[in-house]
Amino acid sequence: MQVQRSLQCLLKLLGGGSQLFLHEPETPTIGASLTSVRYGEAELEMGSVTSYFGRLCGKEEKGEEERHLRANDRPFNLTYRYANNAIKTSKYNIFTFLPLNLFEQFRRLANAYFLFLMILQLIPQVSSLSWFTTAVPLILVLSITAVKDASDDINRHKSDNQVNNRMVDVLIDGQLKNEKWMNVQVGDIIRLENDQFVTADLLLLSSSEPLNLIYVETAELDGETNLKVKQALTVTGEMGESIDALAAFNGEVRCEPPNNRLDKFKGTLTLNEQVYALDNDKVLLRGCTLRNTEWCFGLVIFGGPDTKLMQNSGKTTFKRTSIDHLMNVLVLCIFGFLATMCTALAIGNAIWEVKEGSVFTAFLPREPGIDAGLSAFLSFWSYIIVLNTVVPISLYVSVEIIRLGNSFYIDWDRKMYYPKNDTPAQARTTTLNEELGQIKYIFSDKTGTLTQNIMTFNKCSINQKAYGELFDFAGQRVEITEKTERVDFSWNQLADPKFIFHDHSLLETVKEGNLEAQAFFRLLALCHTVMPEEKKAGELFYQAQSPDEGALVTAARNFGFVFRSRTPETITVMEMGQQVVYELLAVLDFNNVRKRMSVIVRSPEGKLTLYCKGADTIIFERLHPSCNKLTEVTTTHLNEYAGDGLRTLALAYKDLDEGYMEGWKQRHHEASTAMDGREERLDELYEEIEKDLLLLGATAVEDKLQDGVPQTIEQLAKADIKIWVLTGDKQETAENIGYSCNMLREEMKDIFIVAANTAEGVREELQNARRKMCPGSADVPSVKKARAGLFWLKKTETVQDEKVDGDYGLVINGHSLAFALEKNLELELLRTACMCQTVICCRVTPLQKAMVVQLVKKYKQAVTLAIGDGANDVSMIKAAHIGVGISGQEGMQAVLSSDYSFAQFRYLQRLLLVHGRWSYLRMCKFLRYFFYKNFTFTFVHFWYAFFCGFSAQTVYDEWFITLYNLVYTALPVLGMSLFDQDVNDRWSFQYPQLYAPGQLNLYFSKKAFVRCMLHSCYSSLVLFFIPWAAMHDTVRDDGKDIADYQSFALLAQTCLLVVVYVQLCLDTHYWTAVNQFFVWGSLAAYFAISFTMYSNGMFLIFTSSFPFIGTARNSLNQPNVWLTIFLTSLLCILPVVAFRFILIQLRPTINDKVRHKVRKEALPAPAPRRPPPRRISTRRSGYAFSHSQGYGDLVMSRKFLQRPLKSRPALNIRKESALAPNQPQHYRTITEEQEGPQSP
């Protein structure tokens, strides 16, 4: 038998499987300061390639152990080969693009398979098709992807250039020269001005402010918009802005090597043979912004990739969904299955050639040298091509189209559009949609993500009366909305126009001259550490050390007690239009133990008063017994405020005797100058004077949550999604927000605080918490080991969940978390945290956020999502399976590194519960159906091989093979995969439990794939043998024979199409006009194309290409053909319908139950907005003002605020807020003594 001839036309079926594979790389993400970019699939960083070849050549670089640099000495510093300030995130250059890009693309299984098929086509004994029939689509695929990759990398180059070409003043050769950032070297001295980004990691040398202070905003580093105070060494600060002195500066710095610790820096400065210690307070980090400071000079310590910001940016990896990974494994299995089938058929061919083939040699002689063995070998490769449709190459194209369509749904969703900022939701990648339907853990930032980062004076209690709420005539509480009438403060020329209050009775009480109310606001105007700036007459800007401090002083300002200015000895206040100057005698500073602060002032009348504010529990202990009744009522109000999640403070005062004050001041001076026991003696004096206080009332400040945050968290919890908050903020603030969001609740059995300072202490606290939650838990965690991934080479370890009775919460500090993330403690942390309903990590660095995410990914094998809005969230966003950026107050870095972005946290529930769930449902349904139709199509070839002498003859017409995936079944399956939904969005919100099957991966798995194969096997048996038996020895109505190959092929392919269409209809839950058009249109197209191709005209024009002349009109006019089609369809579909019916009756899923409910009930109405129920709580913020100990020293400093009288330009006036744009938060006592030199 002539093998080549028998394969001649059969091998043309490559067109059926050779469909384009278009992989859309991820959208490049370009950040302004991080400029870190998410790379495409098969990431190969240039740095890793360079280091690999370096190691190959024996040039492995030694890690830097200490940084040594000299100011103004470039030749000396260049000997150490430190990185300059240029950053590079691009992936290719003009020379490496082609080889690297091709290498990456051929690592994709589909492209490698195309290449393999093309090589097969080059062998004439196997294929008679020209090699370019496969080469053209392959080159097209590679070219399209290469163009997209090149475009992405060009954008990266542009981003790098944008940052590297920023300009800054650099001191070179005794002159300030304007240089590009990329040209800045370690050891250079640079000059920064107000509102400029910090160029590199700098040692602060001098500044325009008193005491060599500067203010920086660190939002891109830690998410906090409060200003931080930094202070230069006195010895360098004396240089001021003298260019000559700075040019002559030759100090040498020795410090730690580049690292990612944002909160620590160790080093020394050697100057004039004296050594000065350097710490974090003297260093400016890249990513900060200079605020409220005219100018400063700094010495470059770390540049470019060595800066702490870039060290924290996290490794960029290509993100792929779990379904992607599963598909790769399944495709590999399919390859194995294909090889097995082809081997079996090749063996069959050899047996047939030996036993039966000799009969045919009379009219089909073998070519010289062809025997049974070689024929079998050739038929193996022929069947590889014939059965190639079992490897679903067209699957990848369809998957990308479906993902693209579902991404557009997110972009177009008006319910995720935020009109206030004109910000729509955006799917920044098209490759992760179905993963949104499988999220198990959410890691969220706090500031700017859960909260608006805005503090507002919300309510207060004065002399047993509560203010701030509105009631109707029936005494019912009225919800305050944007339409509610506001208090008019236009009578006060100095009022903050942004301040909003709705209870008119408070203003009336103050205006009536109520002494308690006026004393209340007088205290708020005097007892604080706020710094005022009056740029123009009447335009006050408060620079507060914490936003709640600013909110309280602003409240006093609007109610007529305007804090106007301060000197180290006085505080000037406008009281109801009258200027009053108070003498400031003492500031009793705040610390974490006292949890209160006091000021002692003398009024113009000579009256001495101590004003005190602090945590209510602390203040109430120090009240005079006459306040008992007032304390009870105020406590009731405080409980109500705490129930509303507000941050509370108690206010009290005390009149002092002049004689007592003189003695106290003398003792205070002695204690403050004592060498031993200074702190203890001062505390005793503070305790002595802060007693027998008289209570004025309490304040309630709201750390405003974003709209809908508590409801969103509640919905996500019902969907069995666990939310962890990872914040750089303080513990108290994070706890308050936890309660406000209903993440932490009074009803919880316990909330564990982990704050130990040693590894052993952390272990003990974690173990105690775990044993309390689950007394019977084993000391050693239950770890399930398995293998996964391509070729099952990846080892996985899964820590099993442990059952807990009741709800618990866990709060862990940053320093404790550092110990807990160590190798020997990480599993203990994970076990304890996963037992808790809520986990809050405070004071964490950006890298710690990423490490927590990685820990859960590694040991829970669960899909994770990270959501944040600042540059400090970028590493966490990159580490999680899905990264979501909030386009908020802290710039666009998080958005630029994210996979999805929107403006409000509340949109997350719609992204997951609606879009994510639908995407997962559609993708799984598509995959099941796609595998079913392709396997059914291919298995019919397998059965036919036993009837055609294993000669690689195809069952179907070759044009049908070409158009099956391309035309006949493409649109119907895409219609189902783009429009199908089990229930609509309202029902999805009504039953968040519908989300659970995605987390458990129930809809598509290896088991589901095997079920598809078995279903396909059954269908293919019916589809082959029923038409074969029906056509065997059959004649037409007129007695003519129709049992020919062409008629059988037409019948078999028609039956196949009808069955797969009916199966698709059974799988479709949501019918649209588009679905109907695709199904019926595709069926009509099949018959139209068949009749056209089998017509006389096509045969006459292209005789060799259309051999099925007249088959359609001769076969499809016979009743027995249509009866066979009906019988075949019935036998294929009936068992499926019966099986599904029984399954729904016996084991209904949550989807089945909800869909049954949908058919019986009306559409649920949107949840009405109603005032939240009043919640009473005895748990309150430990203290609402969050400045640090020692700031009072700065306020009382003799040097502070001694500014020259010349007019200064307005610095950093932000029009959107009259409250200080950025308020310094947290940092150490600032002293005015010179640093003593240490011996070198």
Just list the catalytic residues: 445
Torsion of CA 619, 620, 624, 625, to 10 degrees: 180
CA distance 816 to 809: 16
Phi, psi of 298 (to 5 degrees): -145, 155
CA distance 577 to 491: 10
Q: What share of the chain is helix, strand, coil (3-state, %, to 5)?
A: 45, 20, 35
- What would the two tokens of residue 287 be? 């990513």
- HEC assignment per residue over 540-579: EEEECCCHHHHHHHHHHHHCCEEEEEECCCEEEEEECCEE
- What would the two tokens of residue 226 be? 């409060």
CA distance 1113 to 144: 43
- Residues 6 or more apart whose Cβ sits within 8 Å of residue 1212: 194, 195, 291, 292, 1221, 1222
Residues β-bridged to residue 808:
750
Give the 3-state secondary structure of residue 653. strand
Label the pairing between strands 439-444 and 863-868. parallel
Task: With beta carbons less than 8 A apart as the criterion, state whether 1190 and 1228 touch.
Answer: yes
Give the 3-state secondary structure of residue 1088. helix
Best CA proximity match to 223, nearest among 879, 841, 899, 912: 841
Provide the strand spans (E) within 606-728: 608-614, 647-656, 694-705, 722-726
Sequence-ordered alpha helix ranges (H) in 946-1044: 958-963, 970-979, 985-990, 996-999, 1006-1031
Give the 3-state secondary structure of residue 760. helix
Write out the DSSP string of 678-711: HHHHHHHHHHHHS-SBEEEEEEEEEEEEPTTHHH
Q: Which residues of 930-955 are buried (b: 16+ CB within 10 A; e: fewer)?
A: bbbbbbbbbbbbbbbbeebbbbbbbb
Task: With beta carbons less than 8 A apart as the criterion, state whether 1100 and 1060 touch.
Answer: no
CA distance 862 to 452: 30
CA distance 313 to 114: 37
User: How does DSSP classify residue 356?
Assistant: I
- What would the two tokens of residue 306 be? 């060595």
CA distance 764 to 310: 35
CA distance 792 to 190: 54
Q: How many CB atoms lie within 10 A of CB 1000?
A: 11
Task: With beta carbons less than 8 A apart as the criterion, state whether 538 and 1210 touch.
Answer: no
